[in-house]
Amino acid sequence: MSASAPVLIAGAGIGGLATALALAKRNITSHVFEKREELSEEGAGIQIGPNGVHVLRRLGIADALAPLTASPDCLRVMDGGSGRELTRLPLGTAIEMRHGAPYWTTHRADLHSLLLKAATDNEFVTLSLGVEVRSAESQAYGVRTLLADGAFCEGRALVIADGLWSRLRETHFNAAPLRYAGKQAYRGVIAASQLPPELTVTSTHIWLGPNAHAVHYPVRGGTEIAIVIVLSEPKTAPGWGHEVPAQSLQDRFAAAAPALHQLIGKPKTWRGWPLMTLPGLATWTEGSIALLGDAAHPILPYLAQGAVMALEDAETLGDHFAARLDDIPLALKMYATERQSRTERVARASLRNGRTYHLSGPFAAARNAVLRTAPPDRLLASYDWLYGHRRAT
């Protein structure tokens, strides 16, 4: 196949667009297919640790995103029942000095729109909306894909970045069905002026409670506050992004600290979605086909690293692809080998965090005692492996 043939990418979410830009930085053309007719990234807030900011800098969009972000000065860990602060971890200048990049909080739609603009403006990237990749065949010279309209498209490789509910993953990687994790998440956004006075606009807060936790932080330059609640629920609610009355969530937090209870009543609209897990895949690659982002490794949100892992994936794939253009299957295998160990560690750590957040009774009391007495710098240092990660350039 001609060296000018594009890399095909299924999905124009954060992972797919970042992959296209990572390849473009290495003068490699790509063609991104997105089944939606219009792109509007769902969701509310997103946290981007220093490891993610480093990738955004190398993709060339960090400067444009910076005015739309906030850099919280600290993480306040709160007891959801008493309202007592358990510990305060330094972020802001402290984490930037530690890892060479800030800790950003922003709106997911702002990040996605800038990735989309950068990809649309890039001569190495072609974007086709309303076009779904149905299947693909890895061949000696590359891949041949079947589109939903019956047409075929050929390329040097296919990167499957079509998200958690990926059909291509099921088709090509014999993936087991997604499993409900027993948790429902809910998201809302309010104006910063609506934040209860006991809370700090410039900080990230996490509230810990039995079988529940809540997180809120500034977005859009600090003018808005994104709120996420995660509750243990034995049965999954129907739909994805279904609307939830604020009163029903307030009722679930009737015994919570007054500031938290008041905060939950502020958003005009709450939307909920089930948290899902994917049994581990034996491989992420099949010849010149590879999985990326949530299609490969959906991660529960207790470390706020799902989107950042997709950004890291994109950069790693771009590096290996450019280094081995004469052997694309090997390049993709090396990408997968490097990323699987990293994402598996992040997934395990995230799961541990979730269990810790939702403790009750004497176990919660022991957790709180540790948080109150442990030096904040030591707690922050325990995440150096996560936030300090960056690939050599």
Q: Count CA within 13 A, CB hemisphere, residue 173.
A: 27
Q: Assess whether 141 carries a catalytic annotation.
A: no
Residues 6+ positions from 2 with CB-CB distance below 8 Å: none
Of residues 103, 186, 217, 335, which has the active-site annotation?
217
Residue 83's Cα: distance from chain center in Å?
28
Residue 26's Cα: distance from chain center in Å?
24
Q: Are 15 and 8 in contact (CB under 8 A)?
A: no
Catalytic residues: 217
